[in-house]
Amino acid sequence: MLKPQAQPVTKPTTEAEERAVFRGVALPWVFLLPSLLILAVFVYLPALQTLRLAAYRANVILGTERFVGLANFTELLLSPAYRQVALQTLVFTVLTVSLGLLSALGLAWLASRPIRGANTYRLLLIYPYALSPAIAGTLWLFLFNPEIGLVNQILGSLFDVRPRWLDTPSLAFGLVTLAAIWKGLAYNIVFYLASIQNLPGDVMEAAEIDGASGAQVFWRVAFPLLTPITFFLVFTNIIAALFDSFALTDILTKGGPYTGNAGATTFLVYQLYQDGFVNFKTGAAAAQAALMLALVAFITWMQFRVGERQVHYGA
């Protein structure tokens, strides 16, 4: 098939960054059209519309809209309730991302040791990937039900305590955090397992021969080599903590219990949903959406910056 004289021709094309093979001016746009059309209509148009709505105050009953400039934003940033929600989201995100990644890395490392049954351990660790945030919320709602939940039945019979898990602010917050970590564990383990298997074996062996202990091999050799995947997971986990927590809290706590100026487990997206679809404060909700947009843009920008600066450890 491949003619001999074709070979010298291919060399320069692979070296040049542009690797155009097929010709046609309209054809690439035909292939791109479905994707670009969907993105334009269902992503970029709503994004612009969100920014516009954030500058208006709508009255659902009268059906009117009034331009208010930045008033929605200033109100939001001055509101003690929104500040509390933002702070709670920050604490929740830091806790789930750090504890979640640490436990996932530890377990993936243990399950990657050359021990009997390692394959079974790995399988058992990653099958909860099929868990959705809504299922996680449903199971924990039953488990931690104060009267009929198994946890309180055990605690009650052993220590005669029956904590009101979902009515006590600190307990509810801790419970949601734990459930979120539990839900995300399998996803993180999948990625860590794959990366650990791709680690250069000779480097680790060299460290062991040089007398490094197991802990030293892990912290001094493996952990630095896993930096790229850890960064990737930190960013995906931040996004998951910000957005996936909605279904979990909507089923488990409904944002409650109330403490200070807002529900103890009300996070940014839950507040957005409440204002947009329960209280019908479209302008305030759009302003929150615009703020979140800026937040996600910042996180993505950080991800690309960190990604660019990453050292390449590949073979």
Chain residues 67-126 in contact with other proteins, contact rule CB under 8 A: 103, 107, 110-111, 113, 115, 117, 121, 124-125
> Cβ closer to other proteins: 113 or 164?
113
What is the residue whose two structure tokens read 């955090």? 177
> Cβ closer to other proteins: 193 or 262?
193
As measured in angstroms, the least distance from the Cβ of 219 to other proteins is 16
**143 scored as a contact of other proteins (CB under 8 A):** yes
Phi, psi of 125 (to 5 degrees): -80, -30
For other proteins, the binding residue among 59, 153, 170, 279 (CB under 8 A) is: 153
Q: Which stretch binds other proteins (CB under 8 A): 66-74, 93-101, 151-159, 258-266?
A: 151-159
* Burial class, 27, CB count within 10 angstroms (exposed 0-12 / middle 13-18 / buried 19+): exposed
Restricting to residues 202-221, which ones interact with other proteins according to CB under 8 A?
Answer: 208-211, 214
Measured distance between the N- and C-terminal CA atoms of the chain, rounded to whole angstroms: 33
Please name every residue paired with 57 in a beta bridge, in sequence order, or none if there are none. 66
For other proteins, the binding residue among 81, 225, 234, 292 (CB under 8 A) is: 292
Compose the 162-191 pattern: x for residues touching other proteins by CB under 8 A, - for all others: --------------------x--x----xx
Phi, psi of 107 (to 5 degrees): -70, -40
**Whole-angstrom Cα distance, residue 207 to residue 32?**
49
For other proteins, the binding residue among 251, 256, 302, 306 (CB under 8 A) is: 251
Spell out the residues 6+ positions from residue 109 whose beta carbon is closer than 8 angstroms to its own.
192, 196, 218, 222
Kindly list the distances between the CA atom of residue 244 and the CA atoms of 38, 165, 187, 269, in Å, as whole numbers in the listed order: 23, 21, 13, 9
Number of residues that bind other proteins (CB under 8 A): 104
**Whole-angstrom Cα distance, residue 184 to residue 234?**
12
As measured in angstroms, the least distance from the Cβ of 81 to other proteins is 19
For other proteins, the binding residue among 69, 154, 224, 279 (CB under 8 A) is: 154
As measured in angstroms, the least distance from the Cβ of 292 to other proteins is 5
For other proteins, the binding residue among 255, 257, 263, 276 (CB under 8 A) is: 276
As measured in angstroms, the least distance from the Cβ of 62 to other proteins is 17
Token reading at 106: 């530890």
- The closest of 183, 165, 184, 167 to 175, measured between CA atoms, is 165
What is the residue whose two structure tokens read 């924990």? 140
As measured in angstroms, the least distance from the Cβ of 285 to other proteins is 5
